[in-house]
Amino acid sequence: MKLSIIDAARCVGCQSCMFACVRRDNVAGIASSCIFIKSRGGISTGFRVITCHACENPPCARVCPTNALELRKGGGVKLIPEKCIGCGHCKEACIIGAVRWNPEQNKPSICIHCGYCVKYCPHGVLEMKK
């Protein structure tokens, strides 16, 4: 299963999904969110919903010098935090901006497609898909 966007035009920009993602780790805030909502260019223009596309041949993993990003079954990657040196190459490699950076831990925030955020989207923007 992977996280997918039904219709970004329905997004009101509340960022409840971002807060949900962080809450999964038993803290509050937004510093480690793996999903990201930002306006297209000022809030009157609507929102961009940025999620990991679970690439089958993910560029983020290919550029990782320490193999800290392992291929995940069904697409995307898993982060092995002990191997990560915080170089940030993965972030640069993901041209849709789905590899977010956690400044507190100096490591990438990698979506594991758990679907927790989907439950907190009040306007039906997100879904889990096979």
Binding site for another protein (CB under 8 A): 12-16, 19, 22-23, 26-32, 36-39, 42-44, 46, 102-104, 120, 122-123
Q: Which residues contact 56 (CB under 8 A, 6 or more apart)?
A: 75
Residue type, 77: V
Query: CB of 56: closest distance to another protein in angstroms?
Result: 27
Nearer to another protein, 12 or 71 (CB): 12
Query: CB of 44: closest distance to another protein in angstroms?
Result: 4
Question: Dihedrals φ, ψ of 77, to 5°?
Answer: -135, 165
Q: N- to C-terminal Cα distance for the chain?
A: 4
Nearer to another protein, 36 or 61 (CB): 36
